[in-house]
A and B are shown apart, each in its own frame.
Chain A
Amino acid sequence: MSTPILEVRDLVKLYAAATAVAGVSFSVPAGICFGLLGPNGAGKTTTIEMMEGILPPTSGQVLYRGETLGTRFRQEAGILFQKTALQDFLTVRQSIALFRGLYDRGLTVDEVLRLCALEKLASRDNRKLSGGQQQRLLLAIALVNDPAVLFLDEPTTGLDPQARRNFWELVQSIKAQRKTIILTTHYMEEAELLCDDIVILDHGRIVAQGPPRRLLHEHFAQVLLELPRQDFPAAARALPLNILESSDRIEITTDNLEATLRTLLAAQVPLGHLRIRPANLEDLFLELTGTELRT
């Protein structure tokens, strides 16, 4: 088996008041999109920043192509942080040119502008970009060195749906070039669309690891039935079914669809607004990390 492009071994990060990451190990094969998922405070950003070499771990190791992070990693990695400010008074082109000048090799500024659809914004002051344009510029900067591995830390947080979909298309085109992508995200739809392999973190530990389809198959042999809450009579809550209530809907999980439907019909539950769907990554996420609010 070939050496993974990135390998994380027993990574721990302790702060004075808390344990951010409590012994995490996984490896990332080259050419895939690898997702780090988890609720707020689960340790995603701390883990990715240790993988980027930005944050020193308390213990454990991160290996890039079998070696500890060093000059080669810095030359071959592209990084998009959760929050980044650029130098004031520079245009989009000049901002990209600044970062291009920091690497020994990479794409030309024009190639990067074209790749991220920024040609028409090349002369604009980088402070006068919309949220989506700003993220495209930061992605362009992360791509100037034509990286072998690209880190994206919650890249679409705060973007409107159009900008988010536009960004996903960009990431998919980068993925098509067989580059390795490490992605953290809150959006399960994003992870489901982009990631080939995921790790779900909670309280600094891995609670699930593997390709999304396999994880769903392992955790959900059943299907989900959704009904509006107002359509579900109070008496029906006593039925021998696996019922989960939320503010506006009732979710029933079952591995015998026909029998469940018969039970509901016998209890005279109106099924006009019934929706049947397979479990998705969000269901898996909630099942593994719970539904209580994280601060």
Chain B
Amino acid sequence: MIHRLLAVLHARNLEFLRDRSTLIFTLLLPVLLVIGMGFVFGGPERPLFKVGVVAPHIDPAAHPFLRERYVEFIPLPQAAQALEKVRHQQVDLLVDLTEPPRYWVNTDSPKGYIVEQLLLAAAPAAHREPVSGAALRYVDWLFPGILGMNMMFSCLFGVGYVVLRYRKSGFLKRLYATPLSAFEFLSAQVLSRLGLILFVTVILYAGIGAIIGFHNAGSTLLLLLLACVGALSMIALGLTIAARFSSEELVGGLLNLLTWPMMLLSGIWFSLEGSPRWVQWVAHVFPLTHVLDAARAVMLDGAGLAQIAPQLLFLGATALAFLAFGAWSFRWRID
């Protein structure tokens, strides 16, 4: 069994590495995206103060401070997560206006100092809790999203179209005439794509780190494990689409149907905090959302294995489920 799997794996790797245009495009696209997005969004912050309020929603009538102009008030009911945002200077100040009023301000943030003066004018008795931490650049937040997006496209389209091409050309039919099983063939495709994705991701991680630098508060090995499990889940998802169909239009449509909601709802470009609950629920159906949540938890907050275990379990379980479904519904030939 292993020699058959290795034969297909080796041939697939050779095929990919010799397809220079695809290889260069695979490496170049995410680098260009990161540089472009960093350039566009990495500049000066917008001239607006952001204040987190420890409350489920904002009621301007509740306190005069909440009626201040040029300040955006964001409800942050989870105090612990809200505090992380103060540390990363994602909000300029966090306030809890229930009696006795308290606030947390980042002593390293100039904007925090200004908005603190506004608060003290409206609530002189508020108790001060100093917090420190460097500002989080948009590019630091964006970087896991770009890596995840690159993985998603590579997993879904890379595997989906390759299997479809093999089926349409009759190559799968020829393989079917050999002792190779569907499981061996699919495993070889998964491993080949997984190796490629990890290789590209590591190059991007190191290359982009050297070019523009980024923040990683957690373990690089844990990130590698996450990339591995996340890629497995998305490759297996691609195989479920390619397992059966022979029409390029249909497979292309189905892959777009998967990738576009993931592009918009998995939190590649912006956080879904504050979006309607149903949107967040839908987003958590997608493997990419779990990859990005866990990657940002590791890179931005220094989360360990225990903290991202739920996401790893979800990704592992979906990988197995998608692979089993793909092997069960696999078609070698066009009927």
Contact = CB atoms under 8 A, between A and B. Distances in A.
Interface string B1-37: 0011011101110110011000000000000000000
Given A52-B177, A75-B179, A89-B18, 15 more contacts: A54-B173, A54-B176, A54-B177, A54-B333, A71-B179, A74-B179, A81-B177, A84-B174, A88-B15, A89-B14, A90-B11, A98-B10, A101-B3, A102-B4, A102-B8
A55 to B, nearest CB: 8
B247 interface: no
A247 interface: no
A88 B165 CA distance: 10
Interface string A194-227: 0000000000000000000000000000000000
Interface-central residue, B4, B14, B166, B333, by most chain A CB under 10 Å: B14
A86 B179 CA distance: 17
A66 B328 CA distance: 30
B177 A77 contact: yes
Contacts of A74: 177-179
Given A97-B7, A98-B8, A89 B15 contact: yes
A79 interface: yes
Nearest to A52: B177
Interface in B166-190: 166, 169-171, 173-180
A84 B18 CA distance: 21
A103 B15 contact: no
A79 B6 contact: no
Contact of A86 (B7, B171, B176): B171
Given A54-B173, A94-B14, A101-B7, A88 B19 contact: yes
Contact of B170 (A71, A81, A94, A104): A81
Contacts of A101: 3-4, 6-8, 10
A83 interface: yes
Given A54-B333, A90-B14, A102-B7, A84 B170 contact: yes
Interface residues of A, number: 27
A81 B15 contact: no
A97 B169 CA distance: 20
B179 A103 contact: yes
Contact of A85 (B4, B169, B177): B169
A85 B170 contact: yes
A26 interface: no
A99 interface: yes
Contacts of B171: 84-87
A104 B179 contact: yes
B179 A87 contact: no
Interface in A36-90: 52-54, 71, 74-75, 77, 79, 81, 83-90
Nearest to A82: B170
A103 B6 CA distance: 12
A87 B170 contact: no
A94 B177 contact: no
26 contacts: A52-B177, A54-B333, A74-B178, A77-B177, A79-B174, A79-B177, A81-B170, A81-B174, A84-B170, A84-B173, A85-B169, A87-B15, A87-B171, A89-B15, A89-B18, A90-B14, A94-B11, A98-B8, A98-B10, A98-B11, A99-B178, A101-B4, A101-B6, A102-B7, A102-B179, A102-B180
Contacts of B10: 98, 101
Prevailing SS type, chain B contact patch: helix
Interface residues of B, number: 25
Contacts of B166: 87
A9 B235 CA distance: 43
Contacts of B180: 102
B7 A98 contact: yes
B15 A90 contact: yes
Interface string A94-114: 100111111110000000000
A30 to B, nearest CB: 20
Contacts of B19: 88-89
A279 B225 CA distance: 74
A102 B166 CA distance: 17
A250 B176 CA distance: 49
Nearest to B9: A101
A215 B237 CA distance: 57
Contacts of A85: 169-171, 174
A77 B18 CA distance: 31
Interface in B74-96: none
Contacts of A98: 7-8, 10-11
Nearest to A97: B7
Contacts of A90: 11, 14-15
A23 to B, nearest CB: 22
A104 B177 CA distance: 14
Nearest to A74: B179
Interface in A100-152: 100-104, 141
Contacts of A83: 170
Nearest to B166: A87
